[in-house]
Amino acid sequence: MENIESILTQLLNFGEGWIVKELKIDETIKEVDIFLEYIKSVGLDDANNCFKIYDFGKMRRIRHLDLLQYKCFLNYRTPRIKNEKGQVRSLTLPFVDKRVSFSYLFENKVIEALQMSKNQIKTASFFDCSFDIVHGIMCRGVERGLKRRKLEGLEALSLDEKSFSNGHNYLTILSDPINKCVLDVTEGRKMEDAETLLVMTISPEQLEKVKIVSMDMWKAYMGAVNEILPHAEIIHDKFHTAKYLNKAVDDVRKQEIKKETVLKNTKYLFLKNQNTWTDEQSFKFSHIDAINLQTAQAWKMKENFKGIYQIGNKYLCLEYFEEWYKNVLSKEIKPMIKVADTLAKHLRGIVNSAIYEVSNSVAESLNSQIQIVKSVARGYANFNGYRNAILFFQGKLNLYPL
Among the three residues 101, 123, 146, which one is the final residue of a domain in this structure? 101
Q: Is residue 248 part of a domain?
A: yes
Query: 160 lies in a domain?
Result: no
- What would the pLDDT profile of 293-352 be if each residue is shown by its tens digit? 999 999 999 999 999 999 989 999 999 999 999 999 999 999 999 999 999 999 999 999
Least confident span in 153-167, 238-252, 281-295, 365-379: 365-379
pLDDT per residue over 72-83, tens digit each?
A: 999 999 999 999
Q: Which residues contact 256 (CB under 8 A, 6 or more apart)?
A: 263, 293, 294, 295
Which residues are within 8 A (CB) of 314 and not within 5 positions of it... i.e. 6 or more apart?
351, 355
Please report whether residue 344 resides in a domain: yes
In a domain, 51, yes or no: yes
Give the range of the structural domain holding residue 288, as residue numbers without chain letter. Answer: 238-355
Q: Judge whether 117 lies within some domain.
A: no
- The 10s digit of each residue's pLDDT in 64-103 is 999 888 999 999 999 999 998 899 999 999 999 989 999 9
| pLDDT confidence bin for 1, thresholds 50/70/90 | very low
Domain C-terminal end among 339, 355, 371: 355
Q: How many structural domains does the chain have?
A: 2
Domain end point (choices 43, 76, 101): 101
DSSP state of 81: E
Residue 391 lies in a domain: no
Q: Is residue 264 part of a domain?
A: yes
In a domain, 257, yes or no: yes
Upper half-sphere CA count for residue 207 (Cβ side, 13 Å):
19
With a CB cutoff of 8 Å and minimum separation 6, the contacts of 71 are 30, 31, 32, 63, 128
